[in-house]
Amino acid sequence: MPLSPLIEISTSEQIEQLQQGTITAVELTQAYLDCIATREAKVGAFLRVENQRALDQAAEVDKRRLKGETLGKLAGLPVAVKDVLCDKSTLTTCASRMLENFRPPYDSTVVAKLKMADAVLIGRTNMDEFAMGGSTENSAFQITRNPWDLDRAPGGSSGGSAACVAAEMAPLSIGTDTGGSIRQPAGLCGIVGLKPTYGRVSRFGLVAFASSLDQVGPLTRTTQDAALLLETIVGHDPRDSTSLDQPIPAYSKTIFEPVKGLRIGLVREHFAEGLASEVEAAVREAFRVYESLGATVKEVSLPHSKYAVATYYVIAPCEASSNLARYDGVHYGHRTDEAAMVAELAAERKALETAQDEVGLDRLDSTLVRMYKRSRSEGFGPEVKRRIMLGTYALSAGYYDAYYLKALQVRRLIRQDFDAAFGEVDLIAGPVTAQTAFKLGEMVEDPLSMYLVDLYTVSANLAGIPGISLPCGFDKSGLPIGLQLLAPPLEEERLLRGAYMFEQATEWHQRRPKW
């Protein structure tokens, strides 16, 4: 069955046609559902496709449009949402057995804003469990494949959100980025992904991983679409105490204005050992594109960037171990089989009594502690356990100063490096990842090498600054290469305008995978 040409036209044209009534929201939604029916079996981007709900929402939009009602910014446009943002009309699993049946009692602010904007919520995307990982292979339910090469990973943790846009199964999607989880999969899947300034987008109803780093943002086909989707989800929210009460520029309107006298920073430390030559060549070419647009390129230094991954892998697991303490099998989430647990404890007690092991008896878990332990061990996958263990270790008595406190101090030095660099340049450009998409299974057995994939992305989370990934080339195997741009805090407008300049001058964003 040939797919509808509607999925290939730009989002702004889709909006225009919806507004003019030449297409209906139901037609557009059906076009994407048909694409999902054709490609999803190969890609596995969605944990759940919400067929009926999407068609109902679309029909409602069409009905209201016919009545002449004022509709939201995204009226009738399908949006896929990472399965980590609470949506009370469906499940929110975080790709974890722990939350396999969890139905949130309220909407996250981001989901509420999408609903207010009359978006069609087409499905919930796959991810690394609790957003911990960079390949989406840590999902408890399924793997997701990179649409450019089905033997390769889409990146992660927002791998489902990136893959569904790259495979044209949704025009827009939402992901979250704690250490690169929007920008890295966007880069590996050849699309645009933006992480806003920490505090720009409310975290209310976002299932917490590392609270001082987590941000929600758009994954889209173009920078213009990213501006539109960002505009829809940003804003101050009193229900998130770290939410920023700052004016919001009209990103989707100002994006077309080039940045006059743009100064682009090239980070000396970015071009070091480990960077694939084809990635380096594509990124260096991007600097030349900017120069041809009248920008000046200036070398800057981020001397503490080599400590960013280490800093991140202290702070993020510490915060995760604390945040994930809430999964105790009491209030919600998985609980172990109680009868089996009681029997297990009784057998252990009996054995210890027979052996007259007083110390062992003294140390034997209480029923409640054993329930927590079994519930958590059954509910969490290996990577989540690893991070909880790492964080618990780093925060345990005697280690706090050496790890967590130290990391928070280095974090400030990393931020100060950026502040100094942004005194000289307007934007910083560089690679998103050192390599293009890696093979599925390639890194599963080596957690540390998987962590090092975050090299270029974690600094922005630690410093709290906004960053965007956009396509800047392909390697000889046909895999996308991403360009990362970074801006000072709250300068998403400048970031998008700068990214749009590059996009207008190149055609990389127009390429699609072959099927």
**Phi then psi dihedrals of residue 79, to 5 deg:** -130, 130
Query: Taking the complex as a whole, how short is the minimal distance between the CB of residue 207 and another protein, in angstroms?
Result: 13
Q: Which residues, other chains included, contact 417 with Cβ-Cβ below 8 Å and sequence gap of 6+?
A: 301, 302, 303, 304, 305
Using the rule CB under 8 A, give the single segment among 174-182, 278-286, 354-362, 388-396 that binds another protein. Answer: 388-396
In the block, tokens 């892998």 appear at 313
Q: Tell me, what amino acid is at 76? A: G
Assess whether the previous peptide bond of 157 is cis (omega < 30° from 0): yes
Site mask, another protein, residues 446-465, x = CB under 8 A? -xx--x---------xxxxx
Q: Which two tokens stand for residue 146?
A: 């990179």
Which positions from 249 through 308 interact with another protein, judged by CB under 8 A?
304, 307
Residue 341 engages another protein in binding (rule: CB under 8 A) = yes
Q: Is 292 a residue of the active site?
A: no
Among 53, 415, 511, 512, binds another protein (CB under 8 A): 415
If the CB atoms of residues 284 and 373 are measured against another protein, the closer one turns out to be 373
Tell me whether residue 410 or residue 443 sits nearer to another protein (CB atom): 410
User: Do 107 and 199 touch, CB atoms closer than 8 A?
Assistant: no
Q: Is 130 in the site for another protein (CB under 8 A)?
A: no
User: Which CB contacts under 8 angstroms, 24+ apart, belong to 406-409?
Assistant: 406/314, 407/310, 407/311, 407/314, 407/315, 407/318, 408/315
Distance CA 247, CA 213 (A): 22
The verdict on 242 binding another protein (CB under 8 A) reads yes
Round to whole Å and give the CA distance between 74 and 25: 11
Contacts of another protein in 140-179 (CB under 8 A): none
Question: Active site residue: 108, 139, 181, 321, which one?
Answer: 181
Q: Cα 386–388–392 angle (5° rounding)?
A: 120
Member of 102, 141, 271, 474 binding another protein (CB under 8 A): 102
Closest approach, Cβ 416 to another protein, in A, equals 9
Q: Is residue 205 involved in binding another protein (CB under 8 A)?
A: no
Examine residue 477 and tell whether it contacts another protein (CB under 8 A).
no
Site string for another protein, 52-81 (x = CB under 8 A): ------------------------------
Interatomic CA distance for residues 299 and 424, integer angstroms: 9
Q: What are phi and psi of 336, to 5 degrees?
A: -65, 160
> Is there a catalytic annotation at residue 82?
yes
Does position 486 bind another protein by CB under 8 A? no
Query: Which of the residues 368 through 387 are near another protein (CB under 8 A)?
Result: 368-374, 376-377, 380, 385-386
Which residue in the set 198, 204, 438, 502 belongs to the binding site for another protein (CB under 8 A)? Answer: 198
For residue 417, the minimal CB distance to another protein (Å) is 12
Going by C-alpha positions, the residue among 483, 418, 428 that lies closest to residue 299 is 428
Q: Are 239 and 206 in contact (CB under 8 A)?
A: no
Which residues belong to the active site?
Answer: 82, 157, 181
